[in-house]
Amino acid sequence: MATPPTTTRPADDAGALDGAGRRAWWGLAVGVLVVAAAMLVPPVFDVVVKAGRAAPLIGDWDLRVGPSSIVALALVVLAARPGVLARLERLTWRQLLALSWLVSVVWMVSLALVDGPTGLGKHLEHGTEYLGSARAADDVGEMLRVYISRIPLDSAHHWPVHLAGHPPGAVLMFVGLDRIGLGSWQAAGAVVVLVAGTVPAAVAVTLDRLGARAAARRVLPFLVLAPTAVLMAVSADALFAATVAWGMAAQAAAGAATAWRRPALAVVAGLLLGWCLLESYGLGLVALLAVAVLMATGGAWRPRLVVGALAAGTALLLVLLFARLGFAWWDAYPVLHDRYWDPRDLASKRPFWYWSFANLGSLFLAAGWLLPAALGAASVPVARLRTAAGRARAEGWERVVAPLVVAGVAMVLAADLSRMSKAEVERIWLPFMPWMLLAVLWLPPRWRRWGLVGQGVLALALQHAVKTVW
């Protein structure tokens, strides 16, 4: 097997982070201003934003404590103990990946159970969600054939909000669970958590296959303990995030593989990325991330182009297969657009002038206060990589991570400016957040040390103070 390139310097070398602390403060200040504006505009100016009292989050203020609060608090306290992160460095790579999954699951479950047992998936069978429709799907072939005709609000049996707003891949996952006896909300909720818990490991595997294992080790705790866990445990979008992450991992593995293994891994990547298109229309933007992974892959361009072509071709074939079965993605999206802007639909009633920045406010809350700080710290080092001289001076991990962070930011901005991202707000960012959070690697060591604890504290505050509809 081809060996990925190795890095030559630890990711937290202070010499590579000149002025990072100052830029981090500026980034944090911008983030705080965006969040403050998103929170204050509705009550101060009496603006109806259709989001509940805790806007920009979709929910209401509701202070509560649950039976699992002590477990969640214990994890944050453990992260604050001196030497904990250093001990992680002594674990083998596989041990670290397994531990990241285990802690992710415990972290998500402990947060979700603050609301009691129903917090771990009861919402999945809400009338607007997928599970109820999945149980009622007696004929999958017929469902695909009539799927587009049932998107408009005027259709006789129009789909619930989430089915209408997504391609059929989303509901088909729950149909599959129901068919194998996991159709209860308890079982489906457990599956969502177990799969969502693999996202940090998948992102780390992507970095590893791109030759940045040391950076992956350092960033894993931030992917695990992020406030995104508040949403991951109760959202089908967590499954979307896992599909994206493992698709990128497969593509990165293909780029690092031998010529014999490369085609098979590229096809796996294509199947996963094609499925992304069938889970959410917005995940078409993941093409930007796929290109970023190709850019970050080491070696000659020809193998990279082979991987990209095989992955893209496989994804296209999967989409064409669904078109043959009755669901044509390109026919469905215009119909969805019309429903989205139907005056009777909730999304059309949300003012874009507010959500254009409130979307980013919800993103910063869900991903954590460290995200805007990290983006600020990363801004100059990433910008330097535009020139050949800057790339020559950069460390190996920087050349790997920078395209992924830029792609994450580009995906969010494109979705935000599309005016089609006002409906579900914070949870739609789950597939994009991990890639932007990689920017924490440019933060100074002190910022990372206390920032990890701050991320956990914010997650505790959100879970205990805001009752989201998710």
Please, are residues 137 and 250 in contact by the beta-carbon 8 Å criterion? no
Residue-number span of the structural domain to which 252 is assigned: 14-468
> What DSSP character marks residue 60?
E
**Does a structural domain hold residue 299?**
yes
At 256 the pLDDT is 94
Return phi, psi of residue 396, to 5°: -60, -40
Q: How far apart are CA 57 and CA 463, in angstroms?
A: 12
Whole-number CA gyration radius for the chain: 22
| Residue of higher predicted confidence among 331 and 51 | 331
- What are the φ/ψ torsions at residue 60 (nearest 5 degrees)? -130, 155
pTM listed for this prediction: 0.94
Instruction: Give residue 10's pLDDT band: very low, low, confident or very high (50, 70, 90).
Output: very low
Length of the chain: 470
How would residue 152 be classed by pLDDT, with cut points 50, 70 and 90? very high
- Answer yes or no: are the C-beta atoms of 196 and 238 closer than 8 Å: yes
Domain membership of residue 1 (yes or no) is no
User: Does a structural domain hold residue 7?
Assistant: no
In a domain, 62, yes or no: yes
- Domain contains 4: no
Number of domains in the chain: 1
- pLDDT tier at 179 (50, 70, 90 boundaries)? very high
Higher pLDDT, 156 or 325: 325
Matching residue, tokens 């002025």:
19
pLDDT (tens digit per residue) in 70-103: 999 999 999 998 888 889 989 999 999 999 999 9
Task: Identify whether 6 is part of a domain.
Answer: no
Q: What is the tens place of the pLDDT at every residue in 282-340?
A: 999 999 999 999 999 988 899 999 999 999 999 999 999 999 999 999 999 999 999 99
Inform me whether the pLDDT recorded for 425 exceeds 80.
no
Containing 95, the helix (H) or strand (E) segment is: helix 93-112
The predicted structure's pLDDT at residue 13: 47
> What's the whole-number mean pLDDT along residues 130-146?
94
Tell me: the pLDDT tens digits for 438-466? 999 999 998 998 999 999 999 999 999 99
Six-digit token string for 361: 């406010």
Residue 347: pLDDT over 90: no
- What is the pLDDT, as a whole number, of residue 5? 47
Lowest-confidence pick of 96-105, 367-376, 390-399, 416-425: 416-425
* Residue 8 within any structural domain of the chain: no
User: What is the reported pLDDT for 271?
Assistant: 99
First and final CA of the chain: distance in angstroms?
A: 44
Percent of the chain at pLDDT > 90 equals 79
The reply to whether 230 falls in a domain is yes
Q: What is the pLDDT of residue 18?
A: 57
